[in-house]
Chain A
């Protein structure tokens, strides 16, 4: 590149570095690229050159022009950021001031999400049956989510889980977003000695997204370990819960043999409803609502419990599903949309917590 262009570029760069604010920056821009700017002048002067020189010189000047434009933009961004920072600094508020005595609106404007409401009801109802609430992390290891629950790597059941994986650490296994709340069964059995009675309401994740599936949803798990706990107790617990939760004393409940890797024998549970009207309790149709079974001996053993001494049951159900059924909510997706209109419509008041002495 010709010396005069190098010099000009150095001059402009120096001017840019020296421009302390946006106004100064604009002056540099006009001096370089404005109508009678230096670079503009060079471009205008090209016409006077002999054709053989014009092409090479033209290319060089255009390269310079591009460089200047980019440098201007970079400097502008820096100055704008600095100007914003200065403005924000000037906008200081003394955050040590005490907040106002009252919030902008009161309980009439606030609301509890239907998922939380259902969890509250679950906790109250199962709490009355002696269950405590257990929790576990959303991000789980493969062992907790699968292997400990008798679902080895090659198990066909893994296909049904549509698992989300996080990036594997160096040389390690990929963590998973727990596909069910069942890993908390394992965590609970490792953390406490039997007898155990826990429910586990919580977030769960599966790579499935359509009208009836959300990639994040909620389940409640139940686990009872004791001496002499048998399938009759499992049925009784579920029937007692379902009838109380839905507030239908004679809700029909049907039990079907099924299979889950972590229970044996396993059963699926249906409740009676009308497919046509969506009304629960009558209509002659059956709706699958939860899976359950006696805890598999290998699951107990994986957590260090001798299945000859202890036995028990586990169950799991979708919180959104029972919420939708109880309140006649037709669509799953709005649960996570936070559309205020929907929240106000289906939410409950913060001043009426669920209590057993109120009606469900």
Chain B
């Protein structure tokens, strides 16, 4: 909310300088968003009189001036402005002053032999506009020597504060003044509007059709008004805070909105059909043209104001065009109403109207000030537009807003950590308008002022600021009841404590380090969290750069990578390409790889520890360590570059699994990876035959071409949530045999379709007591072999335990190994 300093001073009697006011606002929770102090930049500039302007002796385009700035010295000034002339009033800057429009600090100088001891300024040089056709030409009555900014009426800083949603009362300049006064910055000026005597019976009556529609409404007409432009002072104020002056009657309503936080509405009586204005809920077919130029169709949940002809406005949100006041208005009817804040908030959301009236109504108005507000508004209308006032029309009643709250002084230290003395606390509350109703050594009970809807709001019948308890339904009933009772007991006290603390300033609370919970801290991470951290380090150590990409992407892109359930579609995406939760981070990582390729970086290795989304539930969010590699491996003189391949991705996935404690012996590979992988060059790493732990492979060419990526590209996904937590048990004693192991290399000829892993498994299983290790060290496929066959070479390690093996024993074991491999895979030993 914006206001000017002079406007604030209408309500606040203070000598405090601007800085102190701003500091106080920040301290008490009315955060200063900005201050526009146009006068500050212009402070050094004085109104000057040009005593004489003659041609410069040595320059065609310059003039030599004698200038008086009212300090008794006549200065020589060289000036190039075409409009500089003897006898004019202008604005002068002296050496040392900063000229905002040029960004330079002025120095005295000499131009072609003539001294220049000041500068006369254009509008642009003062930063006040684009006019640079000449120096500013002031009227003859401008006082020489006076501050230009002050003379031009720019000495009134505009302050903008951010008002938190609880503080409806601070959406009024008077409310801000009240808070400042309570914080010790000046005194709040009295405000007691004098009633206006009625001169004729009201031409319109209020009716409340449904108690849900309106709590209380007052209205009053003024006839014989002249609705021209409002006076300059009001236009200046409204303009300063960013409002457009319309006409006097409308300006009065805007003025009240900001000055007193009281939205009003004015009807042109001549345009209202019938004698009754009705507050009711919307009906089927209701429709009206609002003052903002839009047409609204109220729903049965909205409050409308209707005359005989139909809906005139969405109450407390936006008024109607048809009964609005204009220059022809001769009789005006002023509405001052109080609505259910919750209903107003929901209506505003439903119709997406953000108006000053809505902002105040949904936060809550002063429910006790209805009559005073209407009297003040009536008086202002008559002051500005003339005329005479009618009697009051009224419907509904003031809500039961009166309530009390108690603060136990112990809580100031106990919850607030503050050492504010009880007497000081009570004084603060009183300064804010709370009335002490009871006090003893331990506590004070106060009545809550009508404008503070945010304090003890649960106990007010006017629902502003109130929230309902929303307990988890599964709670144990006794526990839930005790907790609810506890909240009811302490909530209002917290409200009071907040008031006491904020007026003193939270900086006054001593900081206390958190006491240790245990002498040494317990582990901060669960084993599951530690594993994600380990996966992150491991993948980065394998040369992948960690990325963080969006969890949503374009629906069409997501569809390339799996199911795109409607339940994971973003209903209100911020951009069309961010409308579906990603089925896997591989999708967004590939997009990132594509962006890098477009920047000339085709060899990309990226990973992300992030979510795959399978369903809109906690279980449907799968923690995934995913990565992509595109392009070729690095070039090196000793190691030729090659395209990345599926085994690179397998290496990444496998490394993560092994690091996270998965036993290699338990892992199997199947070739049924999801459809976005290359069907022949991808696999799923499983624990045992079933549980998938990771997927890897080349990307399907169709996916790559859809994303505009030139291959090769591989990806992997480790399903972190599926990896079982390693059991914590003591390690068995190590196996450290005393005899040297025996190594034998065996080459087999086998069908190319047989997975190499089958041979390894068969060999390992052949003689478990002696065969401790089998590994593949060569794979050959080529012309010298029969069609469809490959040669696979295995190293078999035998570990004797009791004694050294004889050659015959070794041969016997090797024969068993060969037989087992042949039996399992059809492979034959090569000669």
CA–CA, A335 and B549, complex, Å: 8
Residues of chain A within 8 A (CB-CB) of B775 are 98
CA–CA, A257 and B669, complex, Å: 59
Task: Judge if B214 is at the interface, Cβ distance under 8 Å.
Answer: no
CA–CA, A128 and B507, complex, Å: 25
CA–CA, A131 and B650, complex, Å: 37
Q: 0/1 per residue, B432-468, Cβ < 8 Å to A?
A: 0000000000000000000000000000000000011
Residue contact A166 to B568, C-beta cutoff 8 Å: yes
Residue contact B571 to A166, C-beta cutoff 8 Å: yes
Which of B108-116, B147-155, B190-198, B615-623 participates in binding chain A? B615-623
Residues of chain B within 8 A (CB-CB) of A186 are 472
Task: Judge if A95 is at the interface, Cβ distance under 8 Å.
Answer: yes
Q: 0/1 per residue, B529-566, Cβ < 8 Å to A?
A: 10001001111111111111111100000000000001
Task: Judge if A321 is at the interface, Cβ distance under 8 Å.
Answer: no
Task: Judge if A40 is at the interface, Cβ distance under 8 Å.
Answer: no
Residue contact B755 to A94, C-beta cutoff 8 Å: yes
The bracket for how many chain B residues form the interface is 35 or more
Q: 0/1 per residue, A234-276, Cβ < 8 Å to B?
A: 1111011000000000000011111101001111100000000
Residue contact B545 to A294, C-beta cutoff 8 Å: no
Q: In the complex, which residues 304-360 of chain A have their Cβ closer than 8 Å to any Cβ of chain B?
A: 304-309, 311, 335-341, 343-344, 347, 349-351, 353
Task: Judge if B421 is at the interface, Cβ distance under 8 Å.
Answer: no
Known contacts A92-B681, A155-B345, A350-B540, A339 near B362 by CB under 8 Å: no
Task: Point out the residue from B547, B570, B696, B756 that lies within 8 Å of A164, measured CB to CB.
Answer: B570
CA–CA, A258 and B165, complex, Å: 10
CA–CA, A113 and B606, complex, Å: 11
Residue contact A95 to B650, C-beta cutoff 8 Å: yes
Residue contact A258 to B472, C-beta cutoff 8 Å: no
Chief secondary structure at chain B's binding surface: mixed
Residue contact A306 to B483, C-beta cutoff 8 Å: yes
Residues of chain A within 8 A (CB-CB) of B164 are 258-259
Task: Judge if A50 is at the interface, Cβ distance under 8 Å.
Answer: no
Across the interface, name the chain B residue whose C-beta is closest to A89.
Answer: B680
Task: Judge if A103 is at the interface, Cβ distance under 8 Å.
Answer: yes
Task: Judge if B514 is at the interface, Cβ distance under 8 Å.
Answer: yes
Across the interface, name the chain A residue whose C-beta is closest to B480.
Answer: A304
Task: Point out the residue from B509, B601, B651, B757 that lies within 8 Å of A235, measured CB to CB.
Answer: B509
Residues of chain B within 8 A (CB-CB) of A128 are 521
Known contacts A166-B581, A224-B514, A103 near B543 by CB under 8 Å: yes
Q: 0/1 per residue, A276-315, Cβ < 8 Å to B?
A: 0000000000000000001011101111111111010000
Q: 0/1 per residue, B490-524, Cβ < 8 Å to A?
A: 11001101100110011101111111111001111
Across the interface, name the chain A residue whose C-beta is closest to B544.
Answer: A110
Residue contact A166 to B502, C-beta cutoff 8 Å: no
Residues of chain A within 8 A (CB-CB) of B468 are 152
CA–CA, A103 and B545, complex, Å: 13
Residue contact A265 to B502, C-beta cutoff 8 Å: yes
Residue contact B501 to A209, C-beta cutoff 8 Å: no
CA–CA, A303 and B575, complex, Å: 36
Q: In the complex, which residues 571-609 of chain B have their Cβ closer than 8 Å to any Cβ of chain A?
A: 571-575, 578, 581, 589, 592-593, 595-596, 599, 601, 604-606, 609
Q: 0/1 per residue, A91-105, Cβ < 8 Å to B?
A: 111111111100111
Residue contact B569 to A336, C-beta cutoff 8 Å: no
Residues of chain A within 8 A (CB-CB) of B752 are 94
The distance from the CB of A125 to the nearest CB of chain B, in whole angstroms, is 10
CA–CA, A307 and B758, complex, Å: 63
The distance from the CB of B228 to the nearest CB of chain A, in whole angstroms, is 36
CA–CA, A89 and B671, complex, Å: 12
Residue contact A154 to B362, C-beta cutoff 8 Å: yes
Which of B27-35, B45-53, B290-298, B389-397 participates in binding chain A? B27-35
Task: Judge if A215 is at the interface, Cβ distance under 8 Å.
Answer: yes
Task: Point out the residue from B354, B512, B545, B681 that lies within 8 Å of A344, measured CB to CB.
Answer: B545
Task: Judge if A6 is at the interface, Cβ distance under 8 Å.
Answer: no
CA–CA, A170 and B752, complex, Å: 52
Q: In the complex, which residues 63-120 of chain A have their Cβ closer than 8 Å to any Cβ of chain B?
A: 84-85, 88-100, 103-113, 115-116, 120
Residue contact A300 to B541, C-beta cutoff 8 Å: no
Task: Judge if A208 is at the interface, Cβ distance under 8 Å.
Answer: yes
Residue contact A235 to B546, C-beta cutoff 8 Å: no
Across the interface, name the chain A residue whose C-beta is closest to B606.
Answer: A338
Known contacts A93-B645, A174-B571, A112 near B776 by CB under 8 Å: no
Residue contact B494 to A97, C-beta cutoff 8 Å: no
Across the interface, name the chain A residue whose C-beta is closest to B685.
Answer: A95
Q: In the complex, which residues 112-171 of chain A have their Cβ closer than 8 Å to any Cβ of chain B?
A: 112-113, 115-116, 120, 123-124, 126-133, 135-139, 143, 147-148, 150-160, 164-169
Across the interface, name the chain B residue whose C-beta is closest to A160.
Answer: B165
Residue contact A268 to B483, C-beta cutoff 8 Å: no
Known contacts A88-B678, A208-B574, A231-B418, A99 near B494 by CB under 8 Å: no
A-B CB contact pairs (8 Å), 23 listed: A94-B752, A94-B779, A99-B650, A103-B652, A109-B544, A138-B613, A139-B613, A143-B472, A148-B472, A155-B165, A203-B551, A233-B513, A240-B514, A255-B506, A259-B167, A264-B494, A265-B502, A297-B487, A298-B491, A301-B471, A304-B475, A309-B486, A340-B545
Question: Shortest 4 CB-CB distances between A and B: which pairs?
Answer: A232-B417, A105-B543, A99-B651, A127-B524
